[in-house]
Amino acid sequence: MSGLLDAALDYAGRGIPVYPVHWPRPTPGVAILGCSCRRGTACDRPAKHPLVRHGLHDATTKPAQLERWWSRWPAANLGLATGVVFDALDVDGPAGLAALRKLAGAASLRLPGPLVATGGGGWHYWFRPTGLGNRPPRGLDHVDWRGRGGCVLAPPSRHARGGHYRWLVSLDQAPLPGAPAALRALLDPDQPTTTRPARPAGPGAPAAPGHPYGRTVLAAELAALGRATPGHRNRTLNQTAFKVYRYVAGGLLDEEDVTAAFSEAALAIGLEAAEVARTLASARTAGLANPRTVPAGLDPSSQEAGA
């Protein structure tokens, strides 16, 4: 079962928060697979609901926590929080695929990015985060969007129907594409906007966590990364993230928020996911070993406490 833990650590290394989910378990004398929860074959969401109390809100990129979870539940399925490093288009079986093909035919829609077969007969197309929450695309039956506050199961999780979630196009084979405009238009609430303003901080915004000084540093370094020119992007990612992780070590910022914010920003300027994960891991190690805190005389926290 180490494949599940290895996969969890790989997702976390890419900045994707992971949490453990129940798994399909054979029941003596029963042909179908039950759920690993107490309800067994009577479970109404077999092998799809979380093992931890707060579900996807407990999702983490911290390796030590993932090792604890998968040592306690070695067969646990992998739940990933969407809306941080990626959003997913959830296509539920042939009916969903037919609806999607119709849209693709009408709008010259191409879906060139990472793709998962779910093990239950559906597909997940992965995209860069849109900032949108979970919602069905208007007019597309049997198709759903998983964004902020959402989750998907990921390879190599097992489906209660017996199949495995598996990559048809892996994260190393294709970069995360932006959501195509034709699809985006079906997701936006009212107006057909296809872009949104860049957020200064990560997925925590607008109620960004962390010390005000830490948030200022994070915003400045993300802005510097956004200005990096081709040929300098990976080095700039390393330099800017290193600076910010030093303030994580100093207790001013949350590590997961910083990782998520830099992952999103780095993918947005065109860096490749595996490269981003490697560079961030290196910057994190170096930064966490060199803590910094608010410079003397510059501590605004007393004024802003409770603000």
Binding site for Zn ion (CB under 5 A): 22, 35, 37, 43
How many Å apart are CA 119 and CA 12, to the nearest integer?
A: 22
CB of 21 to Zn ion, least distance (A): 10
Our CB check for Zn ion shows the closer of 35 and 252 to be 35
CB of 16 to Zn ion, least distance (A): 24
Our CB check for Zn ion shows the closer of 48 and 184 to be 48
How many Å apart are CA 124 and CA 114, to the nearest integer?
A: 8
CB of 55 to Zn ion, least distance (A): 13
CB of 53 to Zn ion, least distance (A): 15
In this structure, are residues 155 and 146 in contact, taking their beta carbons and an 8 Å threshold?
Answer: no
Q: Angle at CA 63, nearest 5°, toward 285 and 282? A: 20
How many Å apart are CA 114 and CA 242, to the nearest integer?
A: 28
In this structure, are residues 223 and 200 in contact, taking their beta carbons and an 8 Å threshold?
Answer: yes
Our CB check for Zn ion shows the closer of 37 and 286 to be 37
How many Å apart are CA 82 and CA 51, to the nearest integer?
A: 18
Our CB check for Zn ion shows the closer of 1 and 42 to be 42
Residue with tokens 């996807």: 56
Distance of CA 81 to the CA centre of its chain: 5
Our CB check for Zn ion shows the closer of 22 and 159 to be 22
Which of 53, 185, 62 lies closest to 130 in space, CA to CA? 185
Q: Describe the strand order of the beta sheet including 18-21 as a list of residue ranges.
A: 18-21, 77-81, 151-154
Our CB check for Zn ion shows the closer of 37 and 249 to be 37
Our CB check for Zn ion shows the closer of 43 and 208 to be 43
Assigned token pair, 60: 């983490």
CB of 303 to Zn ion, least distance (A): 49
How many Å apart are CA 235 and CA 255, to the nearest integer?
A: 20
How many Å apart are CA 204 and CA 207, to the nearest integer?
A: 6
Q: Tell me the CA distances in angstroms from 44 to 41, 52, 196, 203, one per residue in order.
A: 8, 18, 38, 31
Q: Give the Cβ contact number of residue 258 at 10 Å.
A: 30
Q: Tell me the CA distances in angstroms from 134 to 87, 129, 148, 151, one per residue in order.
A: 9, 12, 7, 9
CB of 33 to Zn ion, least distance (A): 11
CB of 39 to Zn ion, least distance (A): 5
CB of 46 to Zn ion, least distance (A): 5
Our CB check for Zn ion shows the closer of 36 and 61 to be 36
